[in-house]
Amino acid sequence: MADTEFAPGTVARRDGILRPVFMLAAALVAVVALAACSSGPKTPFAIMAGSENTVLQPLVEQFCAERNMDCTFTYKGSLDIGLAIGSQEGADADAVWPASSVWLDLFDTGRTVKHATSIAQMPVILGVRRSKAEALGWVGHDVYMADILKAVENGNLTFLMTSATQSNSGASAYLAMLSAALGGPSAVIAPGDLDRSDVQQTVSALLSGVARSSGSSGWLADLYVASAKEGTRYDAMWNYEAVLKETNDQLRQMGGDLLYAIYPADGVAIADSPLGFIDRGRGDKVETFFTELVAYLQSLEVTRKIAATGRRIPLAAGGVTPAAEPDWNFDATRVVTAIRVPEPAVIRQALDLYQTALRKPSLTALCLDFSGSMEGDGETQLQTAMQFLFTPDEASRVLVQWSPKDRIIVLPFDSDVRRQIDIPGDTASQSGLLAQIGQERAGGGTNMYDCAETALKAMNATANLKDFLPAIVVMTDGRSDDAFNRFMETWRRANQKIPVFGITFGDADKSQLDRLAEATAGRVFNGQADLAGAFRSARGYN
């Protein structure tokens, strides 16, 4: 088949065919536009969405207010949305709005989601600091994945990229790398292709350029901007075209170096932003509201507002296009060559391969609170979380399994660090680690700073630290004596700035973990309701 080209007005639907997205009946749009605010109590309507849709939330809320609906948003990563759809958790939402139909195809085997409609399209591309793009000779020229690979191998380029197993933008970049390694957009990625050593070597080499990872495209963009404010500039970032626009809007206000848009000439993946309905048996009124919401989002007035965010709009919805911004090579009328998305089973196989063999290895230090306040349920839940994290069959179900190339440091602590356990990520070592953790019992005080500092020193003593994605994860249920300044002195002296991620449990003082995470460009996860889930989320950032 010929190369697939993507232009505004087409979308890869769940059957894999590119076709126009048509507006609902004009009469329905008119009804929506003229709808007056209803009286009486508001009807709840819950939307589970990807972080890339945050900027569109006010538009939805405006319509909800007009219809006397209480719309709430819960933001999750693409994998979390997929897992929720495929389990009872999906019953908590009336609508889902992931970045791509890929995650519906992977997890919605029971066809729970109805009326899935593309709201906008966003190519996943590489934004490169303009000065870096000029130095590489990429400004004004076609750039191929081979050019990106050469820059990475020569040490001239590193980039931010979300985890391919947790976030759609990372999965999209990864699939584009696989497609390029197989010869370009006309290639259909088949199961046997993933076993080819040349393909694995090429993609692994590309992924060695990852400087930081995350489970959220929006969080990654925030990290880039925050780093630029502090003068610590990353070279580049794989993200949605529209998110790069949002990032550049902030950089422009700061007077910073913009991210120059690189559209790999051998193909990119397209996010189709499907909004779908989940029937929870709440009656026709709720489903009718969803239908009207879609019509509202496809109306001319609203599509103009959506286009202003840098998103590509279907031609059938009025042909609205965002204004071009030549200073960073953005032009939403540009025809983008799209890769051919493989079958769901092949995507799942590719994601497993990414997690177990191709991604940049992680170096993870886990500070585990075994203080006296963890006695009882806390200790039980911590042991259960570790059983999940270090049992490959369990971890692989949600694509957070370890690779033999990974390095793991576990430090149980109370008032002091009890011991330090260092292992590689192979299955046998994980089994031995679980046996050692199983011997720990709660008791003593709480000193998370001492544990974090011990972890930092151990990681900085690691040979070839630059070949790993390092992270410290501190899980605690209590308040420590404040040794923040001492820890930060050690952190600042280190050659590599290692992020600290926090996991709260029980009545932990979140402010202490927040301060650590903010100072080191990390993040805090809430483990009070689901400790194992919090550890899984943290894994998506490492």
Domain of 208, CATH number, reads: 3.40.190.10
Q: How many domains does the chain have?
A: 3
Asked if residue 261 belongs to a domain, the reply is yes
Q: Is the pLDDT of residue 18 over 90?
A: no
Is there a contact between 539 and 518 (Cβ–Cβ < 8 Å)?
no
DSSP string, 235-302: SEEEEEHHHHHHHHHHHHHHTPPPEEEE--TT-B-EE--EEEEE--S--HHHHHHHHHHHHHHTSHHH
Q: If you average pLDDT over residues 101-117, what whole number do you get?
A: 93
Considering the domain architecture, whether residues 128 and 225 belong to the same structural domain is answered as yes
Q: In angstroms, what CA-CA distances link 223 with 49, 408, 465?
A: 20, 25, 21
- Going by pLDDT thresholds of 50, 70 and 90, the confidence category of residue 22 is very low
**Cα 69 from Cα 63, distance rounded (Å):** 8
Q: If you average pLDDT over residues 167-187, what whole number do you get?
A: 93
Mode of pairing for the β-strands spanning 407-413 and 421-424: antiparallel
Asked if residue 254 belongs to a domain, the reply is yes
What's 118-132 look like in SS3?
A: ECCEEEEEEEEEHHH
Is there a contact between 474 and 454 (Cβ–Cβ < 8 Å)?
no
Asked if residue 334 belongs to a domain, the reply is no
Considering the domain architecture, whether residues 381 and 413 belong to the same structural domain is answered as yes
- Percentage of the residues of the chain whose pLDDT score is greater than 70: 91
DSSP 88: G
Asked if residue 237 belongs to a domain, the reply is yes
Identify the domain containing residue 467 by its residue range. Answer: 361-539
The predicted pLDDT at position 39 comes to: 57
Asked if residue 285 belongs to a domain, the reply is yes
**Residue 115: in which H helix or E strand, if any?**
strand 113-118
Considering the domain architecture, whether residues 202 and 68 belong to the same structural domain is answered as no
- Going by pLDDT thresholds of 50, 70 and 90, the confidence category of residue 333 is confident
CATH number at residue 510: 3.40.50.410
The predicted pLDDT at position 37 comes to: 46
Considering the domain architecture, whether residues 254 and 285 belong to the same structural domain is answered as no
Considering the domain architecture, whether residues 233 and 138 belong to the same structural domain is answered as yes
Note the pLDDT tens digit of each residue in 389-444: 999 999 999 999 999 999 999 999 999 999 999 999 999 999 999 999 999 999 99
Asked if residue 137 belongs to a domain, the reply is yes
- Name the range with the highest mean pLDDT among 35-49, 301-315, 389-403: 389-403
Note the pLDDT tens digit of each residue in 113-131: 999 999 999 999 999 999 9
Considering the domain architecture, whether residues 365 and 512 belong to the same structural domain is answered as yes
Considering the domain architecture, whether residues 68 and 164 belong to the same structural domain is answered as no
Task: Give the contacts of 232 (CB within 8 A, at least 6 positions apart).
Answer: 497
Considering the domain architecture, whether residues 235 and 136 belong to the same structural domain is answered as yes
Which of the listed residues 330, 351, 372 is the one where a domain comes to its end? 351
Considering the domain architecture, whether residues 165 and 18 belong to the same structural domain is answered as no
Residues 143, 147, 148, 154: what is their CA dihedral angle, to the nearest 10 degrees? -150
Please give the model's pTM, rounded to 2 decimal places: 0.90
Asked if residue 329 belongs to a domain, the reply is no
Q: Is the pLDDT of residue 260 over 90?
A: yes
Decide: helix, strand or coil at residue 330.
strand
**Cα 75 from Cα 77, distance rounded (Å):** 7
Q: What is the mean pLDDT of the chain?
A: 89
Considering the domain architecture, whether residues 48 and 160 belong to the same structural domain is answered as no
**Cα 166 from Cα 424, distance rounded (Å):** 22
Considering the domain architecture, whether residues 501 and 513 belong to the same structural domain is answered as yes
Asked if residue 331 belongs to a domain, the reply is no
- Token reading at 420: 């330090």
Considering the domain architecture, whether residues 379 and 397 belong to the same structural domain is answered as yes
